[in-house]
Chains A and B, each alone.
Chain A
Amino acid sequence: MTKKILEICIGTPCYLMGASELIEYYNNLESRIKDKIELRTSHCLEDKCEKGPVIKFDDKLYFDVTPERLSKIIRKKTQ
């Protein structure tokens, strides 16, 4: 099975708004789900710096992402 790609922007505006909490969330995922996802970091995702933290999951952009939201996004798409 091909892995779904999770891209987290770690550029300074996203970092300031909590991108590190998203990476931490990914790192602590249970392996059943983590194995289906490949993490990549980005310096900037489509210049949407005002709406950080920005992520791209399975080719879709999400803004203002919190760990709680990330959890929902991932779980919905990896079932």
Chain B
Amino acid sequence: MSNNTISEVVKLKRKLYVELVKMMIKENLVEEIDYLPKKMIRDDTPRYRCCEFKERAIFSERIKMALGYSTLNNKNIELHELASDLYKADNINNIVEVIEQACDSCPIDKYIVTDACRNCVAHKCLNSCPADAIVIIQNKAFIDQNKCLECGKCARECPYGAILENSRPCVRVCEVDAIKSDAKRQARINKEKCVVCGRCIVACPFGAIADKSSIVQVTDKILKKDEKTAALIAPSFVGQFGFKVSPETVKYVLLEIGFDEVIEVAEGADRVALEESREAIESLENDRILLSSCCPAFKKMIVNDFPDLKDNLSHTDSPMLTTAEKLKRYNSDINTVFIGPCTAKKEEAADSEVVDYVLTFEELIALITGFEINLEKVIERREIRDASKFGRQFAYSGGLKGVIEELSEGKIKADNAEGLAKCIKKLTNLKAGKSNFDFLEGMACKDGCIGGPGSMINPKAARKLIENFAERSNLKLK
């Protein structure tokens, strides 16, 4: 199983993507889109809200984000208005948004006393509280939320474990503290702090946090015969498209549905490997510890929260940008679509001149389904040989680390951190002068890109498939 559980909310989102692609192909998006909430949320569809009307209202907001539009800035606009000009979609700013109607305003009292409280004689909770926030009412401890400092001492001291730490799933997973509650107790994302890692999207059990999609824009581009569009597939793509679907079949199908070119981003990663190992050696000579720059979420977190370490960031562009830059250099008119497991890449692309659109693997598989192609039945293949084994290893944590060590012939002592929490630990130590590496590979997702929010399969299985695919490359790194 992938890290990302396929809940009913996830299924509904995927079904929506498929429907939108089908409507694009039938060229009836503008005419039909206002009817879509009613068509997809029927009286007998499983419901999670009070009534089908609220369910449909929320679904309409989901559609706006699927079209690439902000839900927050387009509150009273009808869907067909948005659908009639897809290229006004602001899929540039605020990649991740809270759908207000869907956010259940989870309780925000951090510590609560449960019925397991026995009103024991010791009263360890009461005695440990530094703020005198605990009183005994009706034979049970009670926390005065106005006084509570949220230190957690009472919860640790209670011999019955009767005091519960209660936090919103979105807040709990956000390592950069970007989610707060507004006056209506709804979650709000601080855009400046958010690194678009996508954890909150996966964590919210109400599906109230979503990322904007470019699926309809990309569908439009590949359907246009007079425009050229390239698919840039991330190193982590191997195995994401189904049990028996080979990388070569994925390439064949992408060309078949209208992409004019398919290139491995591992090709750019090859050049990043050379450039970054050269930079690492240069840095070593200048006593500068180098931090990797391929994960945009890791990079943004350093800029935001570790400004002292900003100069340690590698100046090498990410593999995505490197690959796209080369494509655009030879053909400035070509549309570039990056395909990966990542939400942060959506923001990195929006800030760049060279990447036009980003799709996650989830979105691309929905797109292929919309074209009514069953990958498991396709036997045709197209050869893929854009990259060496080095570039292909960027997909999992420790991959870049290994590449840098090998290319520097052991001169560079490299280390790696996966998941923002571990990255923060390493960076904090580095700031305090307590680190023993010359190069740090930082990845915002556990397991690296293969553990990203837009991935489809178990990271362990993905890693094995990628390792095999990397070994299969007979290209040498120039």
Q: How far is the CB of B236 from chain A (nearest CB, A)?
A: 16
Say which size band chain A's interface belongs to: 10 to 19
For B243, give the chain A residue with the smallest CB separation. A10
A49 cross-chain contacts in B, Cβ below 8 A: 374
Given A16-B18, A16-B365, A17-B14: A11 in contact with B1 (beta carbons within 8 A): no
Sample of 5 further A-B pairs with CB below 8 A, known A11-B374, A17-B15, A44-B376: A12-B242, A16-B362, A16-B366, A41-B243, A44-B377
For B6, give the chain A residue with the smallest CB separation. A18
A17 vs B366: C-alpha distance when bound (angstroms): 10
Select one of B1, B365, B373 contacting A15, CB under 8 A: B365
B6 cross-chain contacts in A, Cβ below 8 A: 17-18, 21
Q: How far is the CB of B252 from chain A (nearest CB, A)?
A: 14
> What are 15 of the A-B contact pairs (CB < 8 Å)?
A10-B242, A10-B243, A11-B374, A12-B242, A12-B365, A12-B375, A15-B365, A15-B375, A16-B362, A17-B6, A17-B15, A20-B456, A24-B1, A44-B376, A44-B377
A20 cross-chain contacts in B, Cβ below 8 A: 1-2, 243, 456-457
A15 vs B458: C-alpha distance when bound (angstroms): 13
Given A16-B365, A16-B369, A20-B456: A11 in contact with B376 (beta carbons within 8 A): yes
A13 cross-chain contacts in B, Cβ below 8 A: 18, 369, 374
What 1/0 mask marks residues of chain A from 13 to 47 whose CB sits below 8 Å from any chain B CB? Answer: 10111101101100000000000000001011000
The answer to whether B11 and A15 have CB atoms under 8 Å apart is no
A16 cross-chain contacts in B, Cβ below 8 A: 14, 18, 362, 365-366, 369
Q: Cβ of B368 < 8 Å from any Cβ of A?
A: yes
The answer to whether A44 and B374 have CB atoms under 8 Å apart is yes
A12 cross-chain contacts in B, Cβ below 8 A: 241-242, 365, 368-369, 373-376
* 222-255 of chain B: CB within 8 A of chain A: 241-244
We find that the number of chain B residues with CB closer than 8 angstroms to chain A is 25
A21 cross-chain contacts in B, Cβ below 8 A: 1, 5-6
What 1/0 mask marks residues of chain B from 1 to 26 whose CB sits below 8 Å from any chain A CB? Answer: 11001100001001100100000000
A9 vs B95: C-alpha distance when bound (angstroms): 34
The answer to whether B369 and A43 have CB atoms under 8 Å apart is no
A17 vs B244: C-alpha distance when bound (angstroms): 17
The answer to whether A15 and B14 have CB atoms under 8 Å apart is no
- Choose among A15, A23, A41, A43 the residue with the greatest number of B CB atoms under 10 Å from its CB: A15
For B366, give the chain A residue with the smallest CB separation. A16
Q: How far is the CB of A45 from chain B (nearest CB, A)?
A: 12
For B245, give the chain A residue with the smallest CB separation. A12
B11 cross-chain contacts in A, Cβ below 8 A: 17-18
* 250-306 of chain B: CB within 8 A of chain A: none
Given A17-B11, A17-B14, A18-B6: A11 in contact with B366 (beta carbons within 8 A): no
* 41-84 of chain B: CB within 8 A of chain A: none
For A9, give the chain B residue with the smallest CB separation. B376
A20 vs B15: C-alpha distance when bound (angstroms): 17
B369 cross-chain contacts in A, Cβ below 8 A: 12-13, 16
Q: How far is the CB of A77 from chain B (nearest CB, A)?
A: 24
Given A17-B11, A20-B456, A41-B243: A10 in contact with B1 (beta carbons within 8 A): no
The answer to whether A11 and B377 have CB atoms under 8 Å apart is yes
- Choose among B1, B365, B373 the residue with the greatest number of A CB atoms under 10 Å from its CB: B1
B244 cross-chain contacts in A, Cβ below 8 A: 10
